[in-house]
Chains A and B, each alone.
Chain A
Amino acid sequence: MINNLVFVILFLLGFYAILVKKNLIKMVIGLNIMEGAIFYWFISITDRGGMIPIINGTQVTSQMNDPVPQALILTGIVIGASTSAFLLTLIIELNKFTNSTNPDQIGGMIED
């Protein structure tokens, strides 16, 4: 129950930053917070309170945490890092033309 609450709060904080903030870099920060929220939510709901999924010694494999979500999230973190790195290069490029990082330069998110 607490995990869903944390996820919803963080996810909407990030979404709010993207919709409302007047600075493109803040929007990318909001995006990172949304991604962090999803990853933490996925780990916390599939955490069975088991042990670390690495065998050193005689661990009983049935009491281990599920390794599959950890592998998915590892890939997700690297995807999130490369997308925000690329978005930030686009912001540098835009700054060369408009000398400001105001999302109104890109006509806002809702107008076309």
Chain B
Amino acid sequence: MSKAKNIFKIIILSLLGITLLVHFNKLPLQFEYANSIYHHITNNAVKETGSLNFVTAILYDYRAYDSLGESTIIFGAVSGIVLLLSRKTLPVSSHGLSFIVKRTFGMLTPFIFLFGIYIISHGHLSPGGGFQGGVILGSISIIFSIVYGSEFDYKRYSPTTKTLLETSGALLFIGLGLLGIVMGGNFLVNLKILNSGVGSLISAGSIPFINIGIGFKIGAGLAIIFYSMIQKTFKEEVNL
């Protein structure tokens, strides 16, 4: 019976596919730019926001409110996961990998951290930004709990420090937004505070600081997600 059901579903899906294909082929081939906002953004993004990377200009200045919603989604996912997986039992350390792996990662971690900070801080100059750099920083804590065992990770960044890091990142982001109101502009306006010429490190108004805020928020958030997930695996072993 289930074979027939599968065939039935395949037929329906292929019919849906054909109609979709026919619909989409009616779309105009070339993306015409009659009144697209793309013109305005590419022509005077550098003047208005000072950031060379237009994608970061859009993400953290023209549509910074989207990124605020975005980082709240991650905050919601983190609190949802901790709500579901939080157990009052004592976390048991996972036994890390072999000695060789531990030694090589001992040398690698500072470079990963440096790379993460580079991606965050150079968001407005080169590809990258708060989101990507934050995930790289988060991956350090993931590597710790895999290679050295979650107890080592617990000692390095205990969950409370991770929560504090995440909340301080979020507060930095919202604070910059509110600072915009205090300084007379609108919420999340690009404060041209330390503007030392286009192209230098601290140049695009409040974009680098929003990047740093989001970077720490996402890094700490992902570390919490991974820690509460991996911590469950080894609780069972101690009981058997």
Q: Show the binding face of A for B, using Cβ within 8 Å.
A: 1, 4-5, 7-9, 11-12, 15-16, 19-20, 45-46, 48, 52-56, 61-62, 64, 66-68, 70-71, 74-75, 78-79, 82-83, 85-86, 88-90, 92-93
Contacts and interface: CB of A to CB of B under 8 A. Distances in A.
A19 B58 CA distance: 37
A67 B24 contact: no
Nearest to B18: A8
Contact of A75 (B10, B13, B67, B76): B67
Contacts of A53: 42, 53-55
B181 interface: no
Interface in B98-151: 125-127, 129, 131
B92 interface: no
A64 B218 CA distance: 30
Interface stretch (B80-88, B159-167, B170-178, B188-196): B80-88
The majority secondary structure among interface residues of chain B is helix
Nearest to B67: A75
23 contacts: A4-B20, A4-B27, A8-B24, A11-B17, A12-B13, A12-B17, A20-B10, A45-B27, A45-B31, A53-B54, A66-B38, A68-B37, A71-B55, A71-B59, A71-B63, A71-B66, A75-B66, A78-B73, A82-B73, A85-B225, A86-B80, A89-B80, A92-B232
Nearest to A64: B42
Nearest to B58: A71
Contact of B52 (A7, A55, A70): A55
A9 B81 CA distance: 33
Interface of B: 6, 9-10, 13-14, 16-17, 20-21, 24-25, 27, 31, 36-38, 41-43, 46, 52-55, 57-59, 63, 66-67, 70, 73-74, 76-77, 80-81, 84-85, 125-127, 129, 131, 218, 225, 229, 232
Contacts of B77: 82-83, 85-86
B213 to A, nearest CB: 15
B92 to A, nearest CB: 17
A48 B127 contact: no
Contact of B13 (A7, A19, A45, A74): A19
Contacts of B31: 45-46, 48, 66
A52 B42 CA distance: 12
B46 to A, nearest CB: 6
B131 A89 contact: no
A30 to B, nearest CB: 12
A67 B54 contact: yes
B75 to A, nearest CB: 9
Contact of A7 (B24, B55, B125): B24
Which 9 A-B pairs give the minimum distances between C-beta atoms?
A82-B77, A67-B54, A4-B24, A71-B58, A53-B54, A61-B42, A55-B52, A54-B53, A67-B55
